[in-house]
Amino acid sequence: MRVKDLFATRDVSTLMAETEVEGERLRKTIGAFGLTAMGVGAIIGTGIFVVIGEGAGLAGPGLVLSFVLAAVTCLFSALSYAELASSVPVSGSAYTFSYATMGELVAFIIGWDLILEYGVSVAAVAVGWGGNVNEFLIAAFGEGAALPDAISKSPSDGGTFNLPAVFIVAFITILLTLGTKESATVNAVMVVIKLAILVFFIITAFTGFNGGNFTPFAPQGAEGITAAAGVIFFAYIGFDAVTTGSEESKNPRRDLPIAIVGSLLISTLLYVLVSLTAIGIAPVDTLTGSDAPLAAALREGAGIPWAGGVLALGALIAITSVVLVIMYGQTRIFFAMCRDGLFPRSLARVHPRFGTPSRLTIGFGIFIAILAAFIPLGEIVKLVNIGTLFAFILVNLGVIVLRKTRPDMPRPFRVPFSPVFPAIGILLCLYLVIQLPGTTFARFVIWLVIGLAIYFLYSRKHSRLQTERDLAGPSPLPSDARDS
C-alpha cells in the first residue's frame, strides 16, 4: 500500500458519468422550490420552538443580534457548499466534495462522520417528536389525552419504549422508499404549514408589542450575545442537507446555490422576526422559564391560551419535516459511499419501480427506530455538533483546494473573495469547535477509530477507485526513466 493511494482523488467527470450507470441511477425529480423547501424543512425544527428560550437567557433582548451573528457564521460555509454542489452535482454532499478534492481517506472519514451526525440527529429528533405528540394532545384535548409513559418514553426516561418515535421513523422510511418526488411534495406541504404557523405567531405578537421589554438590551454585554450565538448556531444546521439531493435535482448547477443560500436567508428572516416579536410581547423571564417559550409568550403576553395548541402543532410538523430531510440526506450519503465501493455496492442498487435506494433506506430506518425507541441519547447528541462543524471545515477547505488544483473547472456559482471567505468560514467553525466539551472530542475520536478500522480492513480493498487502478496496472515509465 502506497501512502499516496490513500489520498487519491476522484475525477469530477468520472463522478458525473457514474451517476448514469443503469441500476445505480437516481431519478431527477426535484426543482428549485423543492430543494429550497428541503433546506427550510431541515433548518426550522425544534430550534426556533425551544432554543429561543435558552438563547434569551444568555443574551436578553440582544437575542435578535445573536440570530444574525449565527446566520453570518453559517453563510460563509453555505457559500462554499453552493460552489461545490453546483460544480460537483453528485449525491454525497461533503463526502463527495472531499473525494474530489482531498482524496479517498479524507472522504471516507467525513462520510463516516456524516453517518454518525445524521443518524444520531434523526434519532434524537424522532424522540423529540414523541414528546411533542403528548404536548399537542394535552393542548388540544386536555391532560387525559396524553399517551402513557410506558409507550411514549425510552427506558432511560422511565418508559418501556418510545412508540411515537418508532412510528414517525417508520412512516418517513416508507415515504422515502416510495419515491423522492413524493417525499419532496410532502415536505413542501409541511414546510408551508409550519411557516404559516410562525407567521401567525409574528402577526399575533405584533398586536401586543411592548418596546419596554427591550430594556436593558444586552444585560450581559457583547459576551452574552456571542454566547447565545454559539447556542443558536445549531438552530441553523440543516442547509447542508440540500446538497445530498444534488443528483436528483432537475437543474443542479442553477437550483442548488439558490436552494442553499435561499433556505438560509428565509430561515434567518423568520428567526429574527420571531425572536423580535417574542421579546416584544413577553419579558425575557417568560421565555427562559418555559419549555415551550413561544406558546408561553402568546399565553402570558397576549392572553391567548389556545395558542399553545397551535404552536404545539407547528412544532410537531416542523420536527416531522426535519426527520424526513435529514434521513433523506443520510441515505444519499451512504448511497454514494456504497456506489464507490467503500461499503457493499449491492446496497447502492436502485429500486426499478420507485427509483430510490430502497435496501439501505429500509436498513437505516430499522437502525434509527431502534435507537429512538430504546437508547438514551443524552450526551451523544453533542456529537452532531462536532460532526457538523468538521464537515463545514472540510467543505470550506475543499473550495480552496479545488480552486488551486482545478482552476479551469466550470463553476456555475463561485464563492466571492475566495480564498478569504472560505478561510473565514474555517476559522469561525474552529472557534465553535473549541467551545465543545472534552468528552465530545473523546467520543468523536472513538467513532473515527472504528471507522478507520473498517476502512483499512474492508473499504480500501473494495474501493471502486483502487480496484480500477489495480486492474489498469502500473503506469508506464516515461522514456527517460526506461533509458536509464
List pLDDT tens digits, range 140-160.
777 777 788 788 777 766 778
pLDDT at 450: 94
Q: For the chain, what are the domain ranges?
A: 3-398+426-470
pLDDT at 484: 36
- The CA distance from 43 to 319, in Å, is 10
- The CA distance from 401 to 403, in Å, is 5
Considering the chain, what is the average pLDDT of its residues?
82
Those residues whose C-beta lies under 8 Å from the C-beta of residue 402, and which sit 6 or more positions away, are: 84, 87, 100, 101, 409
90-98: average pLDDT? 80
275-281: average pLDDT? 90
pLDDT at 1: 55
Sort 23 into a burial class: Cβ within 10 Å, 0-12 / 13-18 / 19+: exposed
Spacing of C-alpha 437 from chain mean position: 21
- The CA distance from 44 to 52, in Å, is 12
What confidence category does residue 478 fall into, taking pLDDT thresholds of 50, 70 and 90? very low
Under DSSP, the state recorded for 51 is I
Over the stretch 352-409, which tens digit does the pLDDT of each residue have? 888 888 889 999 899 888 888 887 665 566 677 788 888 889 889 989 988 988 888 8
pLDDT at 122 exceeding the cut of 90: no
14-32: average pLDDT? 72
For the chain, the distance separating the N- and C-terminal CA atoms, rounded to the nearest angstrom, is 26
What confidence category does residue 273 fall into, taking pLDDT thresholds of 50, 70 and 90? very high
153: helix, coil or strand? coil
pLDDT at 27: 76
pLDDT at 174 exceeding the cut of 90: yes
CATH class held by domain 3-398+426-470: mainly alpha
What confidence category does residue 319 fall into, taking pLDDT thresholds of 50, 70 and 90? confident
171-199: average pLDDT? 87
- The CA distance from 205 to 279, in Å, is 9
pLDDT at 470: 64
Full-model pTM: 0.80
